[in-house]
Structure 1
Amino acid sequence: MAWLTRWMRAFRSRRLSGSRTRRLLELHLAALVVTALVSMTVLLVSYREVQNSAGEMRTRGAPAVQGAAATQLALLRAHWEAQESVDHHIDDVIGAGARYENQLSAAEQGLSRLSDVQIDGERGRGVLTTVNGLLTSYSSSMTPGTVKYVQDEWMQREKFGEAERTLSREGTGVVPRLDVLQRHQMQRVDRVSSMGALQRTGWAVAELGLLVLALTAISALWLLRRRCGRSYDPWLLPALLSAVFLAVVPLWATIATQERLDTAHERLVRIEKRAHDPEGLATSQKYITDRSTLVRDELAAQRWQSWTYYGALGGGALILLLPAVGICRRLNADYWRAG
C-alpha cells in the first residue's frame, strides 16, 4: 500500500502544481490585457495631442500673431510717414501723402484679415470691433492733416494731435488695444506650445504601463519555459518587441515635435517685438513675413510622424491581441479543455 500512497501524493502534487500554473497564466493574461489597454490609450491620446498642438500653432497661432504684428507695424509706419513729411517740409509736395495712405490702407486690410485669424475668441472680436471704430476716427483726423491742411500749420498740428491721441492713448488707443490682443494671443501660443503637467503625466503613465507590460511578458515567457516546457512562444516574443518599439519611437517623435514647437514659439516672440519698430519698415515687414512663413513650414506635419501614429496604433493591437491569443491557446490546450 505504500506505493499507492506515494502515487496519490505525487498525483495531488502535480494537480496542485498544475492549478497554480493555470492561475499564474490567467494572472499574467489579465495583467497583459489591462496594461496594454491603459498604456496604449494614454499613449495614443498623448501623441495625438502634441501633433494637434503643432497643427494649431501652424494654422492659427502663427497667422494670428503675424496678422496683429503686421497690422500694428503698418499703422505705426503710416503715422511715422505722415510725421516725416511734415518734419522735412515735403507735405505740400504733390503725392507726399501717398506713402502714409498706402500704409494706412495696408493697416486696414491687415485688420480685416486679422478678424478672421485672431485666436482670442469673443474677447478678441470685441477688441477688433473697437479698433475698427478707432481707426476710422484716426483716419478722419490724420488724413485732413496730411492732405487738406498742409498750408495751415495750426490746424495741421491740431489734427495730428487728435490722431496721435487716438493712436497711442494709454489703455484706450489703437496701439495699446492691439498690444492687449497680441498679449492674449501670445498667452494662447504659450499654452499650445508648452507641454503641460497633464501631458507629462500622460507620457509617464504610458511609459510606465509599457514597462510593466514588457516585464509581464518576460515573466510569462519564463513561466511557459519553466512550467510548460516551451523554450519560446511565437505569440509573446512579437508582443515584447512591439512594446519596446512603442516605448521608444512615439516618444522620440513627440520630443522632435516639441522642439519644433519651442523654436516656433521663440520666433513668434521675436515677431511680436518687431512690430514696435516703425522706422525699420522695410526690414521689419520682410522679417515678419519671412519668419511667419518659416514657422509654418517648420510646423508642417511630416509624413513619418503621421505614420508613427498609425504604427503605434498597429503596435497597440499587437501587444493587446498576441499575448491574449498565445496564453489563451496554452490555457485551453493544457487546462481549460482538460478541466
Structure 2
Amino acid sequence: MTLRTRQALVRIRAVLLAGTVLALVTSSLAVSGVVRTADQISSATSRAILEVAAARDALVSADAAAIASFASGEAKLAGPGQEYENRMASASQSLARVAEFNQAGDPGAGTLQTVEGLVASYSGAMSQADAHFRQPGAELVGLADLWYASRLLHAPDNVLELLGKLQKDERSALDRQISGTRMSAGLLVLWLLPPIVLLTLLVATQVFLRQRFRRRLNLPLLGATVLGLGVVAGLLVAFALAGRLDTVRGSVDQAVAVRERSIEAADAGGHARLATLLQQRCGPPGCGSTVDDFRRQLPTTSTAAPAQNAITSAARAVTSAGTEATESGGLPVLVPAALILAGGLVVAGLYRRIDEYRYRP
C-alpha cells in the first residue's frame, strides 16, 4: 500500500510537471507572438506605410512648387524655389525611413532602389530646366526639361506609381502580420486548453490528497492553482491586445487617407499650372498630342488640401494606437515566470508526501 501510494504520488508529480511545461511553452508562444507583432507593427510597419505616403506627398508638392516658380518667372532668379528644395529634402528623408522600416521584403527594397534612382533623375532634369530657363532664348528647351521632369514622377511605371505599389505592399505586410497573430475564438480556446488542463489536474490532486491524507488544502498546490488562473487571465489580455491591432490598422488607413487628399490637391494645382505654362509657351501650334492628352485629362474639380495639423493629428493617432497595442504589462515575462514558479510549487507541494513514503517500511 505504501509503495503504491508513493508511486501514485510520483506519477501525479510527473503529470503535473508535464502539464506545466506544456502550458509554459504554448502560453509563452501565444503571448510573445502577439506582443512581438504589436511591437513590429508599431515601430516599423505602420511607420513604413506612413513614410511612403509622406514621400509621395513631398514629391508631388515639390513638383507643384517648381512648376509654380517657373510659371511665375521667379525661376530666373531663384530656380525651382526654396519650397521645392524643402520638399525634396523631406522626400529624401522619408525614403530613407522607408528603407529603414521596410516590411515588404526584397521586392520592396528593390522598388525603393528604383525609386531613388528615378528621383535622382528627376532632380537632374529639374536642374537642367532651371539652367535653360535662365538662358535667353532657351525657354522652350527649359520647358521640355520641366515636362520631362514632371513625367518622371507621374508617367506610368515611374516614381509615383512605384511608390503607390510599394505602399500597397507595405499595407499587405501589415495585413499578414495581423492575420498571423489574430486570436480567433477557436485559437483562443486552443491556447487556453493547456493551462485549463493544468488547473484541472491541480484541483484533482487536491481532492486526491484530501481523501488520502485527510488534509483540507495543500498550500503550495493552491499557490500553483492561483498562478495558473493568472496565466489564463494573461492569455485573455493577449487576446485583447491582438484585437487592438485592428485599431492600429484603422488609424493607419485614416492617416493615409488624409495624405491622399493632400497629394490630390497638390497634384491638381501643379498640373493646372503646368498646362497653363505649356499653353502660353507653345503658342498656337501646340506642344504635341501627348501634351494635348495631358491637358484633356486634367480634373475639372479641385480637391481641398487638408490642413497640416490634420496630417499631424492623423499621424499622432497612429502612434497612440500603436503604443496602446504594445502595452502588454510585462506579459511575455510574467506568464512564463508564473508557470515556472507554479512548477516549483508543484514539486514543493508533493515533496513531503513522497519523502514520507520513501522511508516508511
Give the TM-score taking structure 2 as reference length. 0.75
How many residues were matched structurally?
318
Q: Compared with structure 1, are the counterparts of its residues 117 and 231 closer, same or farther at alpha carbon in structure 2 (3 Å cutoff)?
A: closer
Which residue matches 1:322? 345
Once residues 68 and 234 of structure 1 are traced to their aligned partners in structure 2, the CA distance between those partners, rounded to angstroms, is 58
Which residue matches 1:337? 359
| Secondary structure, counterpart of 1:231 in structure 2 | coil
- Give yes or no for contact 2:224–2:345 (8 Å, CA) kept in 1: yes
Once residues 59 and 196 of structure 2 are traced to their aligned partners in structure 1, the CA distance between those partners, rounded to angstroms, is 57
Which residue matches 2:72? 90
Once residues 29 and 190 of structure 1 are traced to their aligned partners in structure 2, the CA distance between those partners, rounded to angstroms, is 44
Q: Compared with structure 1, are the counterparts of its residues 304 and 296 closer, same or farther at alpha carbon in structure 2 (3 Å cutoff)?
A: closer
Alignment equivalent of 1:220, drawn from 202, 205, 212: 205
- Give yes or no for contact 1:235–1:323 (8 Å, CA) kept in 2: yes
Whether 1:118 aligns to 2:94 is: no
Once residues 140 and 96 of structure 1 are traced to their aligned partners in structure 2, the CA distance between those partners, rounded to angstroms, is 13
| Secondary structure, counterpart of 2:330 in structure 1 | helix
Once residues 246 and 201 of structure 1 are traced to their aligned partners in structure 2, the CA distance between those partners, rounded to angstroms, is 18
Once residues 264 and 198 of structure 1 are traced to their aligned partners in structure 2, the CA distance between those partners, rounded to angstroms, is 16
Q: CA RMSD for the aligned pairs?
A: 3.2
Give the TM-score taking structure 1 as reference length. 0.80
User: Which residues of structure 1 form unaligned runs of 5+?
Assistant: 1-14
- Give yes or no for contact 2:20–2:343 (8 Å, CA) kept in 1: yes
Once residues 203 and 43 of structure 1 are traced to their aligned partners in structure 2, the CA distance between those partners, rounded to angstroms, is 10
Structure 1 or 2, whichever has the larger Rg, is: 1
Q: State the shift of 1:182 in Å.
A: 1.6
Q: Compared with structure 1, are the counterparts of its residues 338 and 193 closer, same or farther at alpha carbon in structure 2 (3 Å cutoff)?
A: same
Which 10-residue stretch deviates more, 66-75 or 304-313? 304-313
- Deviations, residues 181-216 of structure 1 (Å, cap 9, x unaligned): 222222222222334479988754441111111111
Which 10-residue stretch deviates more, 282-291 or 254-263? 282-291
Q: State the shift of 1:161 in Å.
A: 3.1
Aligned ranges for residues 1-339 of structure 1 at < 5 Å?
A: 15=1, 21-84=5-68, 89-92=71-74, 95=78, 97-98=80-81, 99-145=83-129, 148-149=132-133, 154-170=140-156, 172-196=157-181, 203-248=188-233, 250-277=234-261, 278-280=263-265, 283=306, 286-300=309-323, 305-333=328-356, 335-338=357-360
Q: State the shift of 1:134 in Å.
A: 1.0
- Give yes or no for contact 1:66–1:289 (8 Å, CA) kept in 2: no
Which letter does structure 2 place at the counterpart of 1:131? V
Once residues 273 and 220 of structure 1 are traced to their aligned partners in structure 2, the CA distance between those partners, rounded to angstroms, is 58
Q: State the shift of 1:232 in Å.
A: 1.7
User: Which residues of structure 2 form unaligned runs of 5+?
Assistant: 267-304
Which letter does structure 1 place at the counterpart of 2:338? G
Which 10-residue stretch deviates more, 222-231 or 100-109? 100-109
- Give yes or no for contact 2:67–2:80 (8 Å, CA) kept in 1: no
Which 10-residue stretch deviates more, 230-239 or 186-195? 186-195
Which letter does structure 2 place at the counterpart of 1:314? A
